[in-house]
Amino acid sequence: MAAEILTVAQMYAADRAAMAAGISGPTLMEAAGRAVARAVRSLSPDGPVPVTILCGPGNNGGDGFVAARHLRAAGWPVRVGLLGEKSALAGDAGWAAAAWAGPVLPATVRLLDGAGIIVDALFGAGLNRPVGGVALDLIMAMAGTGKPIVAVDVPSGINGDDGTVRGGAAPATITVGFFRPKPAHYLYPGRGLCGRVEIADIGIPDAVVNDMDVDILINGPSVWGRALPRRAATDHKYHRGHALVLGGTIMTGAARLAARAALRMGAGLVTVACAPSAHMTYSLSMPSLIVQPIDDAGGFDALLSDTRRNAVLLGPGAGSGPLLRKVTLSALAANRAGVLDADIFTCFAGDLASLRRAGLNGDWIMTPHEGEFRRLFGDLPGSRAERARRAASDSGAILVMKGPDTLIVHPDGRMRINHNAPPCLATAGSGDVLAGMILGLLAQGMGAFDAAAAGVWWHGEAGRRCGAGLIAEDLTEIIPAIRRDILF
Ligand SMILES: NC(=O)C1=CN([C@@H]2O[C@H](COP(=O)(O)OP(=O)(O)OC[C@H]3O[C@@H](n4cnc5c(N)ncnc54)[C@H](OP(=O)(O)O)[C@@H]3O)[C@@H](O)[C@H]2O)[C@@H](O)CC1
Ligand SMILES: Nc1ncnc2c1ncn2[C@@H]1O[C@H](COP(=O)(O)OP(=O)(O)O)[C@@H](O)[C@H]1O
Ligand SMILES: [K+]
């Protein structure tokens, strides 16, 4: 499957490019409507059930008319309700309505009575304001029926570009998208309302994407697999990097999980630097770990003076006091790659400027969840994706905005949306493992954007394989098996 995600504007451009290449609007709409009819039929393998199709005033509605025609031709009882006047339908939608030989009723809530399946063809890409009035009544009524819904392009009321709900939206069983997915198919809350997403080939040539500046991809091995660290027969451990983790004194589990994950990802060596009082805790936890007691930030600097220590993780379990602050500022100045997580966002709350001045750049990755994000960046306006992009741009670093639909964002605006993380990852220490996984890839010399994306996907896959009941420790142990199955 192609990894590109197209914005609404890019989708319209793809449409125009296809038409310029000689594929007519009705040809595209015919293919779109046929795909919708196929999805409806897949919901009732035992045969026809009554279908109500609610059509809006634009081409989304046009797709609904085409689907109606195909279903009726296949012997399905179909009722079509239109929001607005048939005479007002223009262009391809006008063509599709004219080709529908059955009655066109005013779209009312009553039309849903007795429907076995509903097609939501009110608004798609052209949604330009929050839904209200009759449209909202229809959407709420569809949602209230509890019947399977096939949404055309997106559930009506969802903003295709960011997945936000504008006014209201009915949860679909299947959403049929066209040519390529849109952000709303992958970003919550849209993603949660789309049900199963089926992307139909409607005859737009794949090549039209080549002329577009596609900057959003579905995160997965096809995106970063070729950038994964390679092993050579003659490797020794220093060829595979030396990761340095600041370990805390009280919450020692976080750095231990991260260090173990970095080793499992293939880092040649991992050192935990910690207060002398915590030395024993770290040493006894893992024989393969190097543990270096440090008295103060100067001790950490001394470790950094060995340039083979090439990747740094700061934050998990570190405590948000002056030590973390000093160590972070000097690590940023030391020209290393690294991951900033957890207590960093408390330590530098509202103070991105200090991180920037110290040298934060695109070799660094920040991994906040929503709450941590707000701590560092404040209440930025816009959707989650817009806020993440703004934060990456303002910070100059790679931003990993964690959640069920984790975003990996480059300061230049490129974004990868992660799709494979199961909810069982919401468990204590899971984020520490993620930070360590990314660190392990950085230590092996993988570029920060790819390392972040690979770490996030791999972490999601680890969660999927462990399943319900997983604890963070399980994630690290399944890392090698996943590497063997990544075909790059
Ligand atoms: N490759 C492609 O692109 C292909 C696209 N295809 C299909 O075309 C769809 C896009 O069609 P589209 O551009 O006509 O927009 P659409 O979603 O029908 O809505 C526009 C209409 O809705 C109205 N309206 C908007 N918001 C509203 C609100 N809140 N409340 C009330 N009204 C509102 C708006 O009204 P106005 O702003 O003019 O008042 C206008 O009349 C796309 O989703 C896909 O299904 C396929 O056929 C094949 C190829
Ligand atoms: N509902 C969810 N579905 C999928 N992944 C989730 C969900 N909730 C959290 N995660 C993932 O689990 C990890 C939790 O990280 P974090 O909140 O930092 O936890 P901790 O601080 O306990 O280590 C992140 O990678 C996040 O993307
Ligand atoms: K729709």
Q: Is the peptide bond before 480 cis (omega within 30 degrees of 0)?
A: no
Hey, whose CA ends up nearest to atom 18 of ligand 2?
A: 431
For residue 350, count CB atoms less than 10 angstroms from its CB and return exposed for 0-12, middle for 13-18, buried for 19 or more: exposed
Angstrom distance (rounded) from CA 173 to CA 278: 53
What confidence score (pLDDT) does residue 158 get? 98
Q: In testing the pocket of ligand 1, which one of 59, 95, 131, 165 has its CB within 8 Å of the most ligand atoms? A: 59
For the chain, percent of residues with pLDDT exceeding 90: 97
What confidence score (pLDDT) does residue 455 get? 98
| CATH number of the structural domain 8-212 | 3.40.50.10260
Across the chain, mean pLDDT equals: 97
Spans of all domains in the chain: 8-212, 221-485
- Whether 429 lines ligand 2, by a CB cut-off of 6 Å, is yes
**At a CB cut-off of 8 Å and minimum separation 6, what does 56 contact?**
64, 83, 84, 121, 122, 123, 135, 156
What confidence score (pLDDT) does residue 109 get? 98
In terms of DSSP bridges, do strands 196-200 and 216-218 run parallel, antiparallel, or are they unpaired? Answer: unpaired
**221-485 topology per CATH:** UDP-N-acetylmuramoyl-L-alanine:D-glutamate ligase (3.40.1190)
Mean pLDDT of 157-180: 98
Mean pLDDT of 24-32: 98
Cβ 261 vs Cβ 437: under 8 Å: yes
Cβ 165 vs Cβ 129: under 8 Å: no
pLDDT in tens, 438-471: 999 999 999 999 999 999 999 999 999 999 999 9
214 CA to centre of own chain? 15
* Nearest atom of ligand 2 to the alpha carbon of 254: 23
* Nearest atom of ligand 2 to the alpha carbon of 428: 22
Question: What DSSP designation does 469 have?
Answer: T
Distance 49 CA to ligand 1 centre (A): 27
DSSP 346-414: HHTTT-HHHHHHHT--TTEEE---HHHHHHHH-S--S-HHHHHHHHHHHH-SEEEE-STT-EEE-TTS-
pLDDT in tens, 314-333: 999 999 999 999 999 999 99
What confidence score (pLDDT) does residue 99 get? 98
pLDDT in tens, 34-44: 999 999 999 99
Mean pLDDT of 251-262: 98
pLDDT reading at 239 higher than 90:
no
Ligand nearest to the CA of 420: 2
pLDDT reading at 1 higher than 80:
no
pLDDT in tens, 210-219: 989 999 999 9
What confidence score (pLDDT) does residue 232 get? 87
How far separated are the first and last CA of the chain, in Å rounded? 16
At residue 150, φ and ψ (nearest 5 deg) are -105, 115
- The residue with tokens 């939206």 is 169
Mean pLDDT of 45-55: 98
In terms of DSSP bridges, do strands 398-401 and 407-409 run parallel, antiparallel, or are they unpaired? Answer: antiparallel
Distance 236 CA to ligand 1 centre (A): 59
At residue 211, φ and ψ (nearest 5 deg) are -90, 5
pLDDT reading at 238 higher than 90:
no
- Whether 428 lines ligand 2, by a CB cut-off of 6 Å, is yes
pLDDT in tens, 266-316: 999 999 999 999 999 999 999 999 999 999 999 999 999 999 999 999 999
What confidence score (pLDDT) does residue 237 get? 87
